[in-house]
Structure 1
Amino acid sequence: MDEVEVVVAHSERATLRVGDVFLKVDGDQARIDVEVEAMSLAPVPTPEILWCKPPVLAIAALAGTTLGRLGGPSTGSPAAGAAIRTLHDAPLPSWQGRAGRSVVALAAELDVECELLVRNGVLPADLVTRNRQVAEAALRPWTPAFTHGDLQIAHVFVRDDEVTGIIDWSEAGRGDALYDLGTFTLGHEEHLDDVIAGYGTGIDLEVIHAWWSLRSLLAVRWLVEHGFDPFAPGCEVDVLRSRM
């Protein structure tokens, strides 16, 4: 009998693995609907959907391995950069995604979060202030693209430098392409050149750096409150420190 492995779990959702099947449990029907629709539209390899009976989505395991994880070792891959470019060049989906939040709303959220980080003593004021300055470059007009919305390096699987699949599409939709690239390279700056080699033109490095700071500032308190450790080596707080 296959064992049940808890891949990730928090108050919003959980992912379990049973043999070669992943079961995603999500109380938000809208997120499940987006995931199914995005995988059907994305012009890149995605997991096979076995069945969907909300609040559970069952998908097949992918061949290959992930390129790495935040806080751990990683591998560069021009093929991953090329796959991301294929996604960003695809026809736009009909809905806004996580990477499509308005500049005004995002700036307001960031300002509130920075204030809370300092007021509650989560991070030093100088660290927050410096990264808020860096993050400003991401708050600019952008051309909508088909974005994944949570393109962590652990969500991309490869085998023999060929992308075999990209997982976790619940945040997908219209958005800023550089948000995806910033998320993908977060904590793995040493592989940014590999990504650029596969992705091609249209990358503003200042904006990539800005997304590293912005995403990390918004994530730290949530991670702490949900049982994760953004202070672990190579994770979000180290990313913020690298901008000092």
Structure 2
Amino acid sequence: MDEVEIVVAHSERATLRLGEMFLKVDADPARLDAEVEAMSLAPVPTPRVLWRKPSVLAIAAVPGATLGRLGGPATGAPAAWAAAGAAVRTLHDAPLPPRTGQAGRSTAALTAELDAECASLVTDGLLPAGLVARNREVAEAALRPWSPAFTHGDLQIAHVFVDGDEFTGVIDWSEAGRGDALYDLATFTLGHEEHLDDVLAGYGTDVDLEVIRAWWSLRSLLVVRWLTEHGFDPFAPGCEVDVLRSRM
């Protein structure tokens, strides 16, 4: 029998790999429902669903390899990043799904959440006040009206697979739904700004780079505490805190 590999695990969910099968266990079955629905609607390659139980989803492995991970080296030639960018554009141009996703929070709600989190980061001593203030200023550009698109909602590079220069699929669709397309592009290139031009070569250039940079700051500010509390290290080289420092 193949060994069981723990891909990720925290109090909300866990993902295990057994050979060419992944088991996703979620404390909130609605997230698995949303993931299955999103994968059925997405016009790009997604994992094949093998079976489904109330709190467990079994999916087949996607061929190829990821483009890397935050805090680690990025892989893939410029053509592979461009192919992924073209696939993301296909997703964003697709008919809207019924749900509102992670990238679809209202500007008012997002602003309130961001301001509260910034205050807590400083009060609790997690981050210096100057670093928080500068990135809060940069993040303002993301807090604007936007047209909804079909978004993945958690499009980090560890979820994007390629084989050579060919895009082969995207995993982890539990946050998918209607949302801001630039949130996806920012999540995809977070910590790997050097590949932004490659992604946009495939996606198209009608993109506001200031908003993408704003989302880098905004997303990083919002997740530092959560990552710290769930056993991850946003202070590791190349991760969220370094992203915030790069805006100084």
**TM-score, normalization: structure 1?**
0.99
Task: Find the counterpart in structure 2 of residue 95 from structure 1.
Answer: 99
Task: Find the counterpart in structure 1 of residue 110 from structure 2.
Answer: 106
> Could you report, residue by residue, the CA deviation over 1:172-201 in whole angstroms, capped at 9, with x for unpaired residues?
000000000000000000000000100003
Q: In the alignment, does 2:127 pair up with 1:123?
A: yes
**Aligned letter for 1:181?**
L
- Alpha-carbon shift at residue 51 of structure 1 (Å): 0.4
Q: In the alignment, does 2:132 pair up with 1:134?
A: no
**Aligned letter for 1:93?**
P
Task: Find the counterpart in structure 1 of residue 69 from structure 2.
Answer: 69
Q: In the alignment, does 2:148 pair up with 1:159?
A: no
Task: Find the counterpart in structure 1 of residue 90 from structure 2.
Answer: 86
User: How many angstroms apart in 2 are the aligned matches of 1:81 and 1:206?
Assistant: 18
RMSD: 0.6
**Aligned letter for 1:103?**
T
Q: Which runs of 5+ in 2 are unaligned?
A: none
**Aligned letter for 1:177?**
A
Give SS of 2:231's match: coil
User: How many angstroms apart in 1 are the aligned matches of 2:191 and 2:8?
Assistant: 20
User: How many angstroms apart in 1 are the aligned matches of 2:121 and 2:209?
Assistant: 26
Q: In the alignment, does 2:57 pair up with 1:22?
A: no
Give SS of 2:50's match: strand
Give SS of 1:192's match: helix
> Could you report, residue by residue, the CA deviation over 1:52-108 in whole angstroms, capped at 9, with x for unpaired residues?
112000000111000010001113410000000000000000110010000000000
Aligned-residue sequence identity (percent) comes to: 80
Q: In the alignment, does 2:204 pair up with 1:192?
A: no
**TM-score, normalization: structure 2?**
0.97
Deviation above 2 Å: which 4+ runs of structure 1?
Answer: none
Q: In the alignment, does 2:41 pair up with 1:37?
A: no
User: How many angstroms apart in 2 are the aligned matches of 1:197 and 1:130?
Assistant: 30
**Aligned letter for 2:38?**
A
Tell me which of 178, 182, 186 is aligned to 1:178: 182
